[in-house]
Amino acid sequence: MKMLSLPGGSIFLLSFSKNLDIKTDIIILFFSTFRPKFLYNLKNILYYIFLGIFLFASAVGSYAQDEQQATDSIFHYEDTNLYKQKQFYNNWKEKASKHKWSNELFNILFDPPTATTPKSISKNSIARSFASHEGKWIRKITFTVTNPFGKTVNGLPTDSTDNKLAEFGNRVHMRTKVSHLKRVMSLNEGEPLDIKLLEENEEKLRSLGYIDEVFLTVTDIGNNEVEIDFILKDRFAWSFSYQANNLVAHKAKVYNKNLWGLGHNARVAYYYNPDKHVQHSLGFEYSIPSIGNSKIQATAIAENTHHNKKLSLELDRTFIDYRTKYAGGLKVSSYKDADHVPTNDIARFDNEINFHEVDLWGGTTLPFNLEAKNEYARYRKALTARLYRVNFTKHPEIKADTNVFLLKTTGALLGYNVSKQQLFLSNLMYSYGRVENIPYGYLAQIFVGTVYNDWNRKGYIGLNFSRGYYNARKSHYFSTRLSGGTFLNRQGFLDGLISAEFSYISRLYRFRDTKHRHFFKVKYIVGLNPTDDFLNLNEDNGLRNFKSEETTGDRKLVVNVEDVFFSPMTIAGFRTAFFSFLDLGYIASDNSKIISSDNIYGGVGLGVRLNNDNFVFKTFQISFSLFFKRPDDVSFFRPDASSVKRQEFTNFYIEKPYFFFQEETFKR
């Protein structure tokens, strides 16, 4: 790509492509004509370069859509480019083997390339792959668990390794115990094989934070019997994070997601800040995935920080599979010297509040008429109920117009829920080669309830509908969500919220040696009779790498566009994906009746994601954002380097009922 400056200050970006039907393809992006002094404005130059690259990436994606489409079956780069990668690997290994130190370093950074897609998972649905075994008796279920740092042979993980660092990592790792996996499963030996139940259990294993990959085979052994074999690759259980603020404040955390190999999750956090009244803060969290065989998860939290002193215990049992009849949970918490409260996310205090929380919920499924329904889908219908109480024992003075949310409050909620969910298998969506379960279906919910305190009582009504749609012919994925809720009394409607969201993920396109996807998301939120500005555009709530205390409001519209190129190139053993993005956000308050450019903010950016399955933080991201419209407390240029959390698709499971009146679902 070349950038040309023409007389008068016009800026052109030219891209030359050699393998098109025409000999030379020139894409000209004309950004308009500016005064000559524009050429000396570094900020504008950088912005237009970033915007040009983003538009170029979109143009390339459009060309790929029209000219060369790739299927959305399970696809891994190593399968197509295996010969090239082996050549690259062998050449560099030969050079590195001349010295002992370079040979050891090479073994640490590089794994020998191998095909990574076993034929047993090449279908796009577990249910359809093994439908012929429906109803056969399960003779045996076996589990093979491999260490996190091992070679892949013929697409399957092994314990084999040839470098000392990997061996050390495997020694300190706690391998998942088979006895624990059997407690997690709701599929049992000696029962007829239920394909939908098999799919749910495979999804459950794949969602565990300490399991990296799941491979499944079902073998017919005659006499109307089958054997089910799971091969699981562990994810390294230990992790550590550290953060410093101006070399004065420090934050360190140590995690283990699979303590004792039993799926126990432990977290210890330490904070030091000499400017806070509590200079040395400590936090501890411990969770158990199942108490015995009850499938009841238990979580205990103890914290002493500058925010509060907290003790919490939670017991929770979800609707484990589509056959589960009952679900429920209980959470009890105590807070002392708190600077914030659950009844108001914005208000802050000088560590002068004590309160207790009790949160109880339960649910039961209802009969569902499955006649003429999809045989592979999982249908659920359930009634849910919730009782929530917060009791403030120490607080500032409460007046009619001040701190009313500090009154003792009780809330009760009933929910009617209907859901349908199916799964298809894909990859190169949110992961780099890992097989992903992509849910599609719907979830419809109606909530009614009441909230009362010492001064008043008000009713509540809420609705939530979410829909995921997968086009099998074109391999596009769409999801929509419409939710909202409002409080009301005899005088009419009080404060509430309406939220609408649409997401789109394109099929996987091929452009030369790369794979490419478009990601698009638009979200609109509006407060109903809001009492304060409770929305912002920060980070996950709006614009990437954006953090501002000035941009708040009670209504907003956010548009996120991203193009991702999954490259076959590796850097020091890391798979790479290059991405460009464009974010736009509008935010305003109720007194802003007309959309004004003063309330619109936006930025463009570029970045690269690096992935290596043998590292604790498997995906690391480096990105740069340029904000062409920003508030005063946000800089024009914002770099970011951080680990990327494992992203998951929103499923359509039935959970405890929620109040919808904050930007995120109110889960208290």
Residues 70-111: tens digit of each pLDDT: 333 333 334 444 555 566 667 777 777 777 777 766 665 665
| pLDDT of 373 above 50 | yes
> Which residue did the predictor score with more confidence, 325 or 377?
325
> Which residue did the predictor score with more confidence, 224 or 515?
224
Q: pLDDT tens across 402-449, in order?
A: 777 788 889 999 999 999 888 777 777 776 656 777 888 899 999 999
| pLDDT of 359 above 90 | yes
**Cβ contact 640:580 at 8 Å:** no
pLDDT at 2: 36
Low-confidence winner among 27-36, 138-147, 204-213, 289-298 (lowest mean pLDDT): 27-36
Model confidence band, residue 297 (pLDDT cutoffs 50, 70, 90) = very high
- Round to whole Å and give the CA distance between 506 and 176: 36
pLDDT at 13: 34
Q: Kindly state the tokens that stand for 174.
A: 């706690």
Give the C-alpha distances (Å, rounded to integers) separating 308 from 60, 314, 472: 52, 18, 50
- Round to whole Å and give the CA distance between 625 and 603: 6
What pTM was computed for the model? Answer: 0.74
pLDDT at 302: 95
* Cα Dmax for the chain: 84
Model confidence band, residue 399 (pLDDT cutoffs 50, 70, 90) = confident
pLDDT at 43: 55
> How many helices (H) does the chain have, and how many strands (E)?
8, 33
Written as one string, the DSSP assignment of 238-274 is: EEEEEEEETTTEEEEEEEEEEETTTTEEEEEEEEE-T
Where are any strands of DSSP class E within 435-573? 436-452, 457-471, 476-489, 492-505, 509-511, 514-528, 535-536, 552-553, 555-571
Count of alpha carbons within 13 angstroms of residue 417, beta-carbon side: 25
* Non-local CB neighbours of 545 within 8 Å, separated by 6+ positions: 539, 603, 605, 623, 625, 638, 639, 640
Model confidence band, residue 625 (pLDDT cutoffs 50, 70, 90) = confident
Model confidence band, residue 153 (pLDDT cutoffs 50, 70, 90) = confident
> Angle at which helices 164-172 and 100-109 pack, to 10 degrees?
50
| pLDDT of 467 above 80 | yes
| pLDDT of 122 above 60 | no
Measured CA angle at 101 (ends 96, 103), to 5 deg: 30
Mean pLDDT score of the chain: 77
- Round to whole Å and give the CA distance between 57 and 64: 10
| pLDDT of 596 above 80 | no
